[in-house]
Amino acid sequence: MRKPLIAGNWKMYKNATEGAKLARSLKRSLRDVKDREIVIAPPFATLPAVSRAIAGGNIGLAAQNMHHQDEGAFTGEVSADMLLSVGVGYVIIGHSERRQYFGETNKGCLEKITKALGSGLVPIYCIGETLGERKRGRTFAVVEKQIREGLAGLSRTDAKGVVIAYEPIWAIGTGKTATPQIAQEVHARIRGIIKELFGAGVARAVRILYGGSVKPGNVDTLMAEKDIDGALVGGASLDAKSFSRIVKYVS
C-alpha cells in the first residue's frame, strides 16, 4: 500500500520569520495525522528557521532545487550535503518553473535525481505538459519522454525511491485544475511507463502526486482516484488552514 504524500511548495514566498510562524501553525494543526506523509518546501534562506520550527513533529522538510555536484564554483547553488545539514529530507527536481525560467532539462534532472538518491534525499520529480501540447494531443508523449530521460539508467531500487509529481503546466497557478478523470488517466499512463521500464513491483510502489491548483475544494475528489497518491500544492500551501484541510482530505 502506497502511503499518500502531501507536499507544499512555498516557491519564493515567506521570509524566515513568516516561514517559521507558518511551520509552527502547521505542526500544531497536523500533529495527529499519522496515515500520510507531510512535506513543506520553503525557500532556501528559510530552511534553517523552518527546520527548527518543525523539529520533533511529523512534517518533513524539502528543498525546491539542488545542484548535482558535491561542491565547487557554482555561485548561487546548493549541494545535497548542505541541504542535509539543515534537516532537509526531500528535494523538488525539475519543476516546470525551473524548466521554463532557468532552462532545466530532463538530462539535468537525471543528474540531480541520481545525486539526491545517492545522498539519501527523496527526489520529487516534476513532469507535465503545456496547454499547447495538451491541445495537440501530446500529453502522453511529453510525460513519457520526461520519465524515460529523467530516470534513464536508474536501478529498480533507486527508481522505487523516486516520487513523481504530475503537474499539467496549464493548471499551475491558473486556478484551472485537471478533472479527477483527466488526472487519473495521465497517472495511470505514468504508472504504465514505470512498469515497462522497471517492472510491476516498482510501478506498484512508486508514488505519483498530482499538482496544479490543488485546493481544499477539489482535493477530496482528486485523491479518490486509484493512481493519485498525493499532491504537490502551490499557493494553497501558504495558508495554514488551507493546507491543513488539504492534508486532511477525505476520499
pLDDT band at 173 (very low <50, low <70, confident <90, very high): confident
Q: Which of 95, 97, 104, 225 is catalytic?
A: 95
Q: Which of 37, 97, 104, 167 is catalytic?
A: 167
Give the least confident one: 31-45, 105-119, 165-179: 165-179
Instruction: Look at residue 175 in the predicted model and tell me its pLDDT.
Output: 75
CATH of the domain at 23: 3.20.20.70
Q: Is the pLDDT of residue 96 over 80?
A: yes
Q: Could you confirm whether 111 is annotated as catalytic?
A: no
Q: Which three cell numbers stand for residue 192?
A: 504504465
- Going by their DSSP bridges, the two strands 163-166 and 90-93 should be labelled as unpaired
Please report, as a single letter, which amino acid is at residue 72.
G
Q: Could you confirm whether 185 is annotated as catalytic?
A: no
> HSE on the CB side for 75, CA within 13 Å?
0
Domain housing 237: 5-247
The average pLDDT across 8-15 equals 98
CA gap 158, 156 in Å, rounded: 5
Q: Cα dihedral angle (235, 237, 239, 244), rounded to 10 degrees? A: 140
Q: Is the pLDDT of residue 31 over 80?
A: yes
Number of structural domains, the chain? 1
CA gap 171, 180 in Å, rounded: 13
The average pLDDT across 137-153 equals 97
Instruction: Look at residue 171 in the predicted model and tell me its pLDDT.
Output: 81
